[in-house]
Structure 1
Amino acid sequence: MTTTRTRIGTSPPPTLPLPALLSLATAVFITCLTEVLPAGLLPAMARDLGVGESAAGQSVTVYAVGTAVTAIPLTAATSGWPRKRLLLVSMAGFCAANTVTALSGSYPLTMAARFVAGVAAGLAWALLAGYARRLAPAGLEGRAIAVAMAGIPVALSVGVPAATYLGKAADWRTAFLVMSGITVLLLGWITVVVPERPGDSRQLGGPAAREEGAGAFPLPADRSPLPTDPTPLPTAPHPLLGAARVPGVAPVLLVTAAFVLAHTLLYTYVAAFLDDVGLGGRTDLVLLVFGAASLLSVWAVGARIHRALRALTLGGVLLVGTAAAVLGAGAHVPALVYGAAALWGLGWGGAPSLLQTAVGEAGGEQADAAQVLLVTLWNVATAAGGILGGLLLDLLGTRALPWTVLVLLVPAFATAAAARNHGFPQRR
């Protein structure tokens, strides 16, 4: 006789909704790859569009500008929209913009299409991390964000090298057309597997927030404002301004600005840098090493992000700084270039997950508004990296790029190290 014992009052441990999160990761992949795709195709794009490499590099800048100038107003305007609908709209925007980029023979039209892609990115980046958090069970939010943000290192490790190879084997336009095809498939995937989540117009000063005084000072249930009330209700600050004042948010934003500026400055012009040191024919391999190391970094960060966010952030900045020093001093040695690419990937791969998680935890109840600030500042730094890198390329040459990266990472490390109580706390 067999006896079966059943535990009463127990339930299986919570698990992540992987099909939905992987579709978000694919959306992140498309967003990231669309942004950095010119990095591996820059010489070919410049020749075909009849401009210099620094001018072609501004295709990354104008993308970031599109995100930076529209992320806050568009996110506020659509904060009440259902999240799934908004994600589908943003992905459709990528499909249209990449198709126009692939078919364009005009530099101004290409820049306009890249700007539209940046606008779509502003919508996508502002909702993807928050969407992943909302889909996750309690206690697994950080891992859910890490899964969604894994699209970034996959884009860097697989997407950019593959697109660079495709650009050499066929044409740079083909790479953008392939991106459009992937986006069409993703639209169907999102429609089928991603559950809907409602928007929240209270988060970013939407209509509902304005109707209720931004929700900051609700009235008791038994009292309504009467004309005879002697004092008016206080006016709440704008949610974005309020989020910036939350302890810990500002340090995370400062670290983000310096770290992203340093990374973008070198990554945008990495093909030009490698060409200058005699490795122009190996750009795809160097980017493959960088991307593979980025994937390893994402795995390591995802496994320990809840216990070691501070140490991982500081370590990431140090690794990228070390890589920049190696590139500055030893770019004439191919083995050192590949080693520097590996260190760079290890330091940068987990950075998006770390910074998104840090600002979300620091923001607390204003996490969504803090995420919008981070997305906007991230793209301001990306645009600045493209502009500054182009100026350095024209004025001082590619050898100045890694040393500039090293200088920019000093305040990033100092700020993260100082934010031991809020932002990057020692105890979490």
Structure 2
Amino acid sequence: MTNIDQSISGSSTRTRIPPFAFVLTMCIGVIGSNSLALGPIAPEVARSLGTEVPAVMTASAAFGLGTAVSAVFLGRLIDRYGPRRMLTVALFALAAGLAGSAVAASLSLLVAAQLVVGLAAGIALPSIYTLASVIAPKGRESQTIGLVLTGWTLSMVAGVPLSATIAEFAGWRTVYMIVSAATLVACAAVRIAPAREASAGTATSPLAALGVRGVAPLLVACAAFMAAFYGVYAFIGEHLHATLGLPVRANGLIAVSYGVGFGAAAFLDRLIDRFGAGRLLPLIFLVIAGVYVAMATFSGSYAAILAVMFFWGLANHFGLNVLIMRLTALDPGRRGAIMGLNSGTTYLALFAGTIGFGAIYGSGGFYVLPLAAAGLMLLAALAAAIAPR
């Protein structure tokens, strides 16, 4: 046992994950904090601006739309100017949009500010994923990307509860000012922290990136994967409140359980490097389909749903990690454009999944949603299986 430990320790020393990965984790955290913050503070925002909560959530829609459009059409600039430079510019624009959100005097100004934030996030996210693949030591790609992905856990487990608390005691505008300041800190860290640089090349059109062998089926898998997630996640809180009769605060534990599972998976990411991302992705998607079936089966029990949420987060972490690994490995010279297509697909799937699953929920109740999501995951597994490794 000692020899094994020493061997692992020596290997880890030779291929240590660069500290810059933690900077990228922080970048994901501030982006996630904005994308998840509006829901909990929407009632306070609505009261302050003299409008209704559904109207306030149009700002969230503007963020998603801006992210999708920017990622698809501007992601190619990452290949032209380099991911680090583009991430620095995007984070500065993100901080400006967040500051604009904090001082917005009307709903229309808030929507406009969140559109700016979305446009910036559409460049920042693919830049982050591209940089994660560039700095990852050989043999520890999944662990590096997994560490970066834990930024989503930070925003979900810490960012969402803190946003609600800050909004209650200091006002919702303070939330955006704090996230804006944190974004500027992240921007400075990206600028000055030492890291391996990606060489600048030529900008690739979205259509050309889509033509890279393997991109199309993996984007189909991404669309099914993300539509399933966002479609179910959007209505699980309403199910707990309306069907199970639980107070709204019960939703907080749901988010925490999912976030803890998502973050805990980072400790197992080395298994992906050991067994290979190519063969694992279809299997991971099938496991996620099984999690959705379990969610439908135990949808009447809050305790069981909490347990399922943990495993849902665990499995989704692996799915997202391996999907990014597969996409970034297809054509290193076009990583930025490919990651832009990935982010664009993700946020279009958010829109489609929320709308489509909303119609299903209205007619069939929550029980049907995880079963529909399981069907989408079977499609994702098939698409991942036929994609070249």
TM range (shorter): 0.7 to 0.9
1:345 aligns with 2:310: no
Alignment match, 1:41: 41
Gaps of 5+ in 2: 1-10
1:76 aligns with 2:41: no
Alignment match, 2:5: none
Counterparts of 1:341-420 in structure 2, within 5 Å, are 341-363=309-331, 366-388=334-356, 396=362, 400=365, 403-417=368-382, 419-420=384-385
- Give the 3 Å change call, closer, same or farther, for CA 415–136 of structure 1 in structure 2: closer
- Give the 3 Å change call, closer, same or farther, for CA 12–176 of structure 1 in structure 2: closer
- Higher-helix-fraction structure: 2
Alignment match, 2:118: 118
- Give the 3 Å change call, closer, same or farther, for CA 53–327 of structure 1 in structure 2: farther
- The one-letter amino acid paired with 1:406 is L
Alignment match, 1:28: 28
Deviation at 1:308, TM superposition (A): 4.7
- The one-letter amino acid paired with 1:351 is G
- Report the Cα distance in structure 2 between the residues aligned to 1:318 and 1:49, rounded to whole angstroms: 45
Counterparts of 1:71-220 in structure 2, within 5 Å, are 71-77=71-77, 79-168=79-168, 170-195=170-195, 197=197, 199-202=199-202, 204-205=203-204
Alignment match, 1:261: 227
String of CA shifts for 1:104-153, please: whole Å, max 9, x gaps: 34222221111111111111122112212222334433332222222122
Maintained 8 Å contact 2:83/2:128: no
- Give the 3 Å change call, closer, same or farther, for CA 25–268 of structure 1 in structure 2: same
Which has the larger Rg? Answer: 1
Deviation at 1:45, TM superposition (A): 4.0
Maintained 8 Å contact 1:153/1:349: no
- Report the Cα distance in structure 2 between the residues aligned to 1:136 and 1:182, rounded to whole angstroms: 25
Tell me the SS of whatever aligns to 1:18. coil
- The one-letter amino acid paired with 1:264 is Y
- Give the 3 Å change call, closer, same or farther, for CA 317–139 of structure 1 in structure 2: closer
Deviation at 1:254, TM superposition (A): 0.7
- Report the Cα distance in structure 2 between the residues aligned to 1:384 and 1:286, rounded to whole angstroms: 23
Moved more, 277-286 or 409-418: 409-418
Alignment match, 2:214: 248
Tell me the SS of whatever aligns to 2:75. helix
- Report the Cα distance in structure 1 between the residues aligned to 2:61 and 2:352, rounded to whole angstroms: 7
Maintained 8 Å contact 2:75/2:339: no
- The one-letter amino acid paired with 2:104 is S
- Report the Cα distance in structure 1 between the residues aligned to 2:224 and 2:50, rounded to whole angstroms: 32
Alignment match, 2:248: 280
Alignment match, 2:302: 334
Deviation at 1:310, TM superposition (A): 5.5
Tell me the SS of whatever aligns to 1:158. helix
Percent sequence identity is 21
Counterparts of 1:4-19 in structure 2, within 5 Å, are 14-19=14-19
Alignment match, 1:231: none
With the length of structure 2 as denominator, give the TM-score of the two structures: 0.83
String of CA shifts for 1:38-77, please: whole Å, max 9, x gaps: 2433444445445554444443322121011122332334
With the length of structure 1 as denominator, give the TM-score of the two structures: 0.76
- Report the Cα distance in structure 2 between the residues aligned to 1:34 and 1:245, rounded to whole angstroms: 33
Deviation at 1:386, TM superposition (A): 4.3
- The one-letter amino acid paired with 1:27 is C
- The one-letter amino acid paired with 2:310 is A
Deviation at 1:99, TM superposition (A): 2.2
Alignment match, 1:209: none
Gaps of 5+ in 1: 1-10, 206-237
Maintained 8 Å contact 2:83/2:198: yes
Tell me the SS of whatever aligns to 1:80. helix
- Report the Cα distance in structure 1 between the residues aligned to 2:91 and 2:132, rounded to whole angstroms: 16
- Report the Cα distance in structure 2 between the residues aligned to 1:365 and 1:115, rounded to whole angstroms: 29
